[in-house]
Structure 1
Amino acid sequence: MGELGPEWHRILKAAAAAMERESVTFSLSEPDTAERHLISGITGRHRQAAAKTIRLPLADLDSYIQLAFAKDLTALIRGELGIEIGAARRRRTERAAVIDRITAEASASPLSEHEWFHNWLTALRANGVLAELAGAGTDLRPLIEVLEALPAADEPLPVISERLLSDTKALASGRSRTMLLRALAAWRGVENPVDSESERELLEWAGIVSDDIASQVLVLNLPVEGGPVGEWMRAARGIPFRLTLQQLRREPVFVTAPLIHIVENPSIIRAAADALGAACPPLVCSEGVPSAALYRLLGTAPDARIRWRADFDWTGLRIVRRGLERFPNAEPWRMSTTDYRIGAPGIALRGNRTESPWDPGLSPVMEIRGTAVMEESLLPVLLSDMRNGDPASALQ
């Protein structure tokens, strides 16, 4: 501390912080004896030893310093602590100006006419991300270029990253990926993704595929025409077969089935193959949240009637609802309140409730009962539906 004793250190440091805040007072907590005596000398007022916090006007400290050392408080702080009063404030002002520039540049995008884009920018500013970008000397322009190019046509993430950002790994992880996912969530009007599955689904909603080989769909007896895939399907009659998005992208195909059944769990495919074999009607398995491969495959069957089902849990209801929304010819299959009640109660329901527009009474019943019903508990009736063709009960 130079010519000053150690009792000055915390006092000057607290004073410097107050001056940066443009406050007129500062406080010192838990002062020791030397600090208390110094403050008493500065103010001319005795301070009790029991005092836990002492507040002091900056003007009193400045007056004392000018009389005692013939310099003002700002100069003393600069000389003793090396702190330039106002530097932090200037940095904040400069950073705020950069944030304003980043926001203005982003607002020049055609996307700015959408409310979701404005909400996304507001959130980035509120949670400090724009401040981080300003501090790092970067901005939102590269990411906005990606958003402006969406939706993509089932383009692999490394490919779109290379094409738009000249870096195959630019969106693989880190802040850019998080910002992209939050922008897509705002765009779609859903919660921010919380796990890899919800991230994958959100990216694929925007036409971005994390890995076009990892994106797969499991099928049984699905008639497909076109290229090697069509030949494989004809040869695999009665045998479950897995198709990748990469295969579907490289070899143009179309599905010729007039009726397609969709299930969520591979165990249903296995049971159908064992029980019905080559006589099983075309069956497709989503294996949880549907992949881009599944959506692309179904997109080649615009005239097919699609029966869609999943587990009776909140995720399953979302899967079916999105399938019905995406494909005009889709309908629920064994997804009624009656079907839920005849199934064996399973694990407790988890996650956020969702509605069931095809049967408005289903969601409330599930919430009251509080348990999921897995597809496997309905296996006998599902096999019966597929074995017997197209009974009316199968459409419930």
Structure 2
Amino acid sequence: MRRHFERYGLNPEKPVLHLINLNAVEHEALALLIGLSSRSTRSVRIDIARLDAVLRDAGLASSLHEALEKLDGPIVNRAEAKAELQSRWSRVTDDQGLHPTLCAWLQGASTVGLLKRVSKQSPQTAHQLLRQAHMIMGRLPAQGLTRAQLAADTLGNAHALDNGQAVATVVLAALQYGANNDKQEQPPSEEADGTPRPTERVRDIWARSGVLVNELARPALFLNLPVRTPSASLAAQGEPGYLSLRLLLRTPPVWDVADQIIYVCENPNIVSIAADRLGTACAPLVCTDGMPAAAQRVLLKQLVDSGAKLLYHGDFDWAGIHIANNVMKLYECSPWRFGAADYLQAIESAPPKDRDLEETGVAASWDPDLIEAMQSRGMAIAEEAVASLLVNDLR
């Protein structure tokens, strides 16, 4: 009986109860209550209005619905409750007056699922999280502000934006969604061979908005980068230097690189070799140190925004091609001795060795012939193996 009201409520268009799987005792009780035939049956249909009248006449309750609630507590109309919950979530996702990036993110297909997860299925909590995220977004982009300070100043809790916190999850999702819809900043969702691209690191997402997280970790290695004011030189000319994320965001250098070529390599050893052999005569050089982290990303973007033209070289292995695909796409780099012909030339001068490349390769976005050349020869060539050729270009 409760299930009927849970499903249909007090809908007058559903005036009949259909009870099934009755045992003899249950049938006898109903027969005595409303005058059914004494012949026992497994199912019976009962007019609800008739049962309401019997209960009123007996002074037990004003209706069957009321009687059931007296016995076992309130009856929740599931359809109405579901509709009300859907309405509350619609009001959350249609929230007006939020930061434009949040509003755009709220239209995404996966947004409601994420909001429900971080709010533990509570529309009210989700609404509060969006208001907090709106406050954070209003402070962005920052200029070298630490994440803890941003959280403390805006939300009154220095740990509110720590990894895993609900409001941090919302802000990061919105920031990443915004970046993925900005064509100039959009990283590829997959590599040229169709393999998924790794999720962008949290520290990099914050850094893109000028917020520091572990700002001294993995500084960017460089050599002879020109700045507009000589007295503001970041390292002794001819000596490798490091730029922390903290410095790049808080006091960004004024780069003097308009229309200049900046060489970019994957491995720190190339910078060391270039400094040893060329010193002050070396062309400007930046190292990604593998997949670029926050400091490297910020530096490369600053150089591109200042008018530099980037040339990139990395390891001739699948990881190196994967890194290069991302760097080439994000910073509109051109290859630097990093095509199929360059690989084959490097193979000819390399010492004999066994095949060490896996058969499953990664296509190079800048040279469709490179994957075939690497698969046919099956040998990885480290960037250091062609250091002499690279250094000659840096003269």
Q: Assess, with a 3 A threshold, how the Cα gap between structure 1 residues 273 and 97 changes in structure 2: closer, same or farther.
A: same
Q: Which consecutive residues of structure 2, in runs of 5 or more, have no partner in the other structure?
A: 31-35, 181-186, 191-195, 348-354
Paired residue for 2:213? 210
Which structure is richer in relative contact order (CA contacts within 8 A, separation 6 or more)?
2
Determine the C-alpha separation between the residues in 2 that align with 1:333 and 1:83.
73
CA deviations 1:32-61 (Å, max 9, x no partner) are xxx7556666697755xxxxxxxx788578
Superposed, 1:66-215 pairs within 5 Å as: 71=61, 72-86=63-77, 92=82, 94-106=84-96, 108-109=97-98, 111=100, 116-117=104-105, 119-120=107-108, 123-125=110-112, 129=116, 132-136=121-125, 138=128, 140-172=130-162, 173-189=164-180, 198-214=201-217
1:324-363 to structure 2, matched below 5 A, reads: 324=332, 330-339=333-342, 346-347=357-358, 356=365, 358-359=366-367
Q: Distance in 2 between matches of 1:204 and 1:214?
A: 12
How far did residue 317 of structure 1 move? 0.7
Residues 1:204 and 1:99: Cα distance change in structure 2 (over 3 Å): same
- Alignment partner of 1:247: what SS? helix
Matching residue of 1:244? 244
Displacement of 1:308 in angstroms is 1.8
Query: Any stretches of 5+ residues in structure 1 without a counterpart?
Result: 1-11, 48-55, 325-329, 392-396
Distance in 2 between residues matched to 1:105 and 1:278, nearest whole Å: 57
Q: CA 1:321–1:373 in 2, change beyond 3 Å: closer, same or farther?
A: farther
**Residue 266 of structure 2 contacts residue 287 of structure 2 at CA under 8 Å; is this kept in 1?**
yes
1:18/1:102 Cα in 2 relative to 1: closer, same or farther (>3 Å)?
A: closer
Cα offset for 1:105?
A: 3.0
Shift of residue 286, structure 1, vs aligned partner: 1.6
Verify the 8 A CA contact 2:207 2:298 in the aligned structure 1. Answer: no
1:387 maps to 2:391:
yes
Measure the CA separation in 2 of the matches of 1:362 and 1:274: 31
Give the Cα–Cα distance (whole angstroms) in 2 for the partners of residues 155 and 385 of structure 1: 42
Partner in structure 2 of residue 327 of structure 1: none
Per the alignment, in what secondary structure is the counterpart of residue 312 of structure 1?
Answer: helix
Partner in structure 2 of residue 377 of structure 1: 382
Aligned counterparts of 1:57 and 1:272: Cα–Cα separation in 2: 92
Following TM superposition, by how much is the alpha carbon of 1:264 offset from its aligned partner in structure 2, in angstroms? 2.5
Match of 1:263 among 256, 262, 265: 265
Aligned to 1:314: 322
Conservation of the 8 A alpha-carbon contact between 1:26 and 1:58? yes
| Partners of 2:85 and 2:202 in 1: CA distance | 32
Distance 2:377 2:98 in 1: 46
Equivalent residues, number: 348
Give 1:95 shift: 4.1
Q: Which has the higher helix share?
A: 1
C-alpha deviation, 1:94, in angstroms: 4.9
Give the TM-score normalised by the residue count of structure 2.
Answer: 0.65
Per-residue deviation, 1:384: 2.0
> Conserved in 2, the CA contact under 8 Å of 1:14 and 1:27?
no
2:7 is matched with: 18
Contact 1:269 1:285 in 2 (8 A): yes
TM-score by length of 1: 0.65
TM-superposed deviation, 1:183: 1.7
Measure how far apart 1:333 and its partner are.
1.6
